A and B are shown apart, each in its own frame.
Chain A
């Protein structure tokens, strides 16, 4: 049932029927895990082990296990936190912003991207919670009665705003993601043969039967959730940037931080989506769903946001000079030419120079190059946060207290450990949940087809019922004559 538009590349290739879509996606869930999945999962578990060991060391011996010192008292923990939260943003952008802009190509990637958001936020949350020193008191961040925990929170503090922003972001993303999963769980449930899987997916599918009224309400809910998630995603990284921007540390006290951080977040998020999608597409043979066209489109978004970030870097330098504030100027000169020049140089190369390669069509459509580029961007964005945080702190107003920061083995362990946590969760998701939103992909099969919806309620006759003959398979080519 696929027609080829003369103008646009089809969103889904391979001439898929509805049943093919169901088969292709459910196959991953129903079959025993393949060897590539097992190998990847074992590696992820090793890193998860490193994570648990580092957490144990941090909790048992305290924050002294980290490389922090009196001058640089905020380093890898907050770097990793901001990096992970930023990565999450692409998922919400794809699921919410692109939905509002009616970008139908998002259908093949939104499920996995939203899963990425949720797992990235889980990883991000580890760092501030561990840095509390007493994570079992973590609930004290919420406003509690004075007689019970701490005082009511300080609502003037961006750190408290962060608590509200991140918890809202996490729970809203989770609800959005799960609501989208319900119809697909129903598909798996109706195909399930095993007793356990039948019951498990029955519970997960929430009594979903695909009723017309339910679909109608479901679409309303999706649209409103997208509408509230769009400002939410912008607010989250804005608030994260205010952790820095509202302080008076030179190099942090900057009004362009909110848009600069949001652009950076989307930039790094798309890089991570590309990394994950390229792996998923090969592992699960989804080349017809995540096409070169998808990869090229994501590359373009990455390039645009990367360029925004580049402009922000240059603006910061200009404003430091223009402000005539000596300390501000020193912070930036020190960033580029001081002892951490190599971090600054890596950031500039990875984030500003290499993404410009995407201007070349051959790079945009090349899978190996895109993969390498996406990893480079992720490295670059990690360095961006490191540069902002550590180079601003390590030389403060008082030269006698200037210091350098070097991470301890536990710092490194926690960071690579969260990568293990992330990939463990993502691989479990990819095995037990449908990685592509089947229901949504089915709606766009026909859109690739013609130049718009085939149904027009104002017209007395829509497509003639040529398929009426029983026994004609859905895959048989159908020719629509819109103007009869």
Chain B
């Protein structure tokens, strides 16, 4: 765990230094989106890597957070902080509704159920026009305001997001390395064995699922205030798949790996714009190649390569 703290401090230092050095709002915006992806991915990594469950509907939780925050502030004039808390409530209730029945089943039924859930939520975003603004989106979301301070610039959001990310990561690391986390890992390997050790596996899985949904909802709320405009296009099935892809490309087995995946897959499209219209082809190829040659993800794969190199 000490090593983890050290890594966390290094990451925090690096992010803060970046924030102070950088003067370009474009980079801040790219990093802001990256950090929000990172938040979702931390939760998803706990769910996938530790509880061995896949969710194909996390964009829906992200969207529920964003839309609840957006609607309550833009249409009902609630303060952003109160709306954010309400959004957490909505996300958790939705996660409970889908998680309780789905997690009782064996196999990958959570993946199937969340897939369907994601599509239903997307349809609701699109069709509940009087509330959500429909396919053309929800306008008029105010910027975030906390204790009288209004976040206006990308740089201010950046420091806020970094803070939220570090705290979430700290909590997630704690969880992963606690007896609870070890129970989860055991769950990943053998559900029956974990049950035999006296754990209520159903509850373990449900707690992690709720946690990951809450993190996605939180990221969504923050996104709504940062972008001040949301539309259903940002919360599609494709986005859910993108989150899962980030976790797997980085490495299912660790939180750091998942974060690395978020970094790589968020930055790659920005870098690839150099290739103009060909960027999709290159993106697809890179994804396939990484997975063929580093099937356990970038984090572990690169680590192994590094170790090998050191030995020779």
Asked if chains A and B come from one complex, the reply is no
- Listed in ascending order, the chain B residues whose CB lies under 8 Å from chain A are none
